[in-house]
Structure 1
């Protein structure tokens, strides 16, 4: 009988999107690099400062834009109550990160957990379930219709340019007014708000990938002003880019 809760650490090379679905509640974390998740018409990025809590049996799309090492924990459905939401992405607290690290000593196995280990996993579940109640706002829409999904993909491909909404609309074969309605109807966001979130998400990806200067990252994701980039980043994350990077360690 497999343990009621266990941890595993694994390193992956970059790979395209694939479906992930497990029969346990899944606390997915990255210790280095960043993962991209997509589910329920939305997309998230998981750098080391964040985690995803996924309900057992819920399929999600996972892609790896860069090499990544995961440090994750799986809980049997009899060990913990179900999460409050099928999928929640949230910032890890120092306590949660310490518990994830401490639980890393107990991988999959048939022997039962020691009382100490069981207490650790129970504490981690309590902390993670509480944190999941305050999900991160850094999420971008994935879109439902083929036209909007293509518009979002083209926008993401051109983040480093001075991308124009009219050009995106023309590329997907819609009038700007029609595409604007699609954005409002399918995402609840304007195109410019979605663009700002995409740029911040790409910046987080770059912050997690290495030690490139913040100014270089700002220009790489399409900002011509460092102050505008810092303001947009802080508005979505509550922290400056430097503070956000510092939280990875």
Structure 2
């Protein structure tokens, strides 16, 4: 009999997107570095001290621009109910972190879990399933059509430049009005709103990567002033960039 739940810690080298699908509910927690997760036409960023809850048999795409260390738990579908959504990214609270650490004792094995371990994994599932009902806003659309996906790639490559919507439309072979309709139809957002989110996601990756000054990161992702960057960052995340960075090291 396989365990109803087990934990493991892994370090991954940088790699381009690859597909991932597991037959258990997957609690994926980043402890160092950031991951990009893509599913159902959206892309999430998973920075340190956050977790992703992925439903069993749900295909996702994972990419890592830098080395990443994760602490994860796999739950048998008979041990834990289906998550509240196929994929959510959320903040871990102190209780969830403590339970995750406690569950780290029990890795993959054919031996059944001791009663105490079952209690700890059950408590971890209860807490994180509840947290998953309040997902992180750090998500951007990934697009369905080839033209929109290409527009998103080009926009992401030009965050630090004076990127213009008309230039992006021209490069993907669509009139600006046609591309604007694609954004509205496929994302429910304007290109400029997506651009703001992409800049904040890029900033979070840089905040997690090291100790570069916030001002440097603001200019790097395309903001002309620190005040504008701080305002946009707080609007999306509810925190200043400095507060967000501090939350990586609870």
Q: TM-score range by the shorter chain?
A: over 0.9
Is 1:200 matched up with 2:175? no
Between the aligned partners of 2:201 and 2:49, the Cα distance in structure 1 is 13
Superposed counterparts of 1:1-150, under 5 Å: 1-150=1-150
1:190 maps to which residue? Answer: 190
- Superposition deviation, residue 118 in structure 1: 1.1
Between the aligned partners of 1:205 and 1:197, the Cα distance in structure 2 is 12
TM-score (norm 1): 0.98
Between the aligned partners of 1:63 and 1:15, the Cα distance in structure 2 is 6
Between the aligned partners of 2:32 and 2:50, the Cα distance in structure 1 is 11
Between the aligned partners of 1:47 and 1:9, the Cα distance in structure 2 is 16
Between the aligned partners of 1:228 and 1:9, the Cα distance in structure 2 is 38
Between the aligned partners of 1:238 and 1:123, the Cα distance in structure 2 is 28
1:243 maps to which residue? Answer: 243
- Structure 2: state its 5+ residue gaps: none
1:167 maps to which residue? Answer: 167
How many residues are treated as equivalent by the alignment?
249
Between the aligned partners of 2:148 and 2:120, the Cα distance in structure 1 is 44
DSSP 3-state at the match of 2:137: coil
Query: 1:48-90 deviations in whole A, cap 9, x for unaligned?
Result: 1221101100000001111000100000011111111111111
DSSP 3-state at the match of 2:2: coil
Deviates more, 1:94-103 or 1:124-133: 94-103
DSSP 3-state at the match of 1:43: strand
Between the aligned partners of 2:207 and 2:102, the Cα distance in structure 1 is 26
1:179 maps to which residue? Answer: 179
Query: 1:97-120 deviations in whole A, cap 9, x for unaligned?
Result: 121122111111111112221111
- Superposition deviation, residue 162 in structure 1: 1.2
Query: 1:4-59 deviations in whole A, cap 9, x for unaligned?
Result: 10000000100011111000000011110000000000001101122110110000
Between the aligned partners of 1:232 and 1:102, the Cα distance in structure 2 is 37
DSSP 3-state at the match of 2:107: coil
Between the aligned partners of 2:191 and 2:59, the Cα distance in structure 1 is 27
Is 1:228 matched up with 2:228? yes
TM-score (norm 2): 0.98
- Structure 1: state its 5+ residue gaps: none
The runs of at least 4 consecutive aligned structure 1 residues that moved more than 3 Å come to none
- Superposition deviation, residue 237 in structure 1: 0.6
Between the aligned partners of 1:76 and 1:54, the Cα distance in structure 2 is 12
- Superposition deviation, residue 175 in structure 1: 1.1
- Superposition deviation, residue 214 in structure 1: 0.7
